[in-house]
Structure 1
């Protein structure tokens, strides 16, 4: 039950936010071998003064905090991060230096909704 939280200095329309959420959900399900029904996405637009990155260059910033269930191999996480950053950079003209992904991993039982509690991740 991942929570994919974007903080950005981009100014996005409602349609662009929907496109971003749908694309990232598709990337997540593909790269992380799961289904889309439990993927949550939040997009928070910030003022330029709200986000800082030491290596940043001129242009918008986009940070993704990916709260995910523990257990996925590094290769899956890296593939999702690269695909997501490539999409953001190409679609919204974000300089590569200004895109960042951080994963926080939780035990399956820490990931829950009203109707279910997550289990441990299994590649099968």
Structure 2
């Protein structure tokens, strides 16, 4: 039951936000070996003064806070992060230096919706 939260200085249209959410959900389900029905995505537009990164170059900034269930191997998380950043760089011209992905892992029982409580991840 991941929550993928983007903060960015990009000015995205509603259609671009929908496309971003759809593509990142697809990347997440592919790389993390799960289904899309429980993937939540937020996209928050920020002013340039709201986001800072010491290594940043000229261009938009984009940060992803990926709140995920604990247990996924490093290789899966790294693959998802790299695929997501490649997509964002190619699609929205975000420089590599201006992107960051941070994973926060939670016990499955701490991730819930009205109809379910997450379990432990039992994949590879």
TM over 0.5: yes
Q: Secondary structure at the match of 2:101?
A: strand
| Corresponding residue for residue 71 of structure 2 | 71
Matched with 1:101 is 101
Does the residue aligned with 1:34 lie in a helix, a strand or coil? coil
Matched residues in 1 for 2:38 and 2:5: separation? Answer: 14
CA RMSD of aligned residues (A): 0.6
- In structure 1, the gaps of 5 or more residues are none
By how many angstroms is 1:68 displaced? 0.0
2:57 equivalent in structure 1: 57
Using the TM superposition, give the Cα deviation of residue 19 of structure 1 relative to its aligned residue in structure 2, in angstroms: 0.2
Q: How many angstroms apart in 2 are the aligned matches of 1:26 and 1:90? A: 16
Secondary structure of the structure 2 residue equivalent to 1:87: helix
Partner of 1:83: 83
Shift of 1:121: 0.3
Gaps of 5+ in 2: none
TM-score, normalization by structure 1: 0.99
For residues 5 and 123 of structure 2, the distance between their equivalents in structure 1, rounded to whole angstroms, comes to 24
Deviation at 1:120, TM superposition (A): 0.1
> TM-score by structure 2 length?
0.99
Q: How many angstroms does 1:109 deviate by?
A: 0.1
Deviation at 1:42, TM superposition (A): 0.1
Determine helix, strand or coil for the equivalent of 2:105: strand
1:26 corresponding residue in structure 2: 26
In the alignment, what sits opposite 2:8? 8
Secondary structure at the aligned position of 2:58 is classed as coil
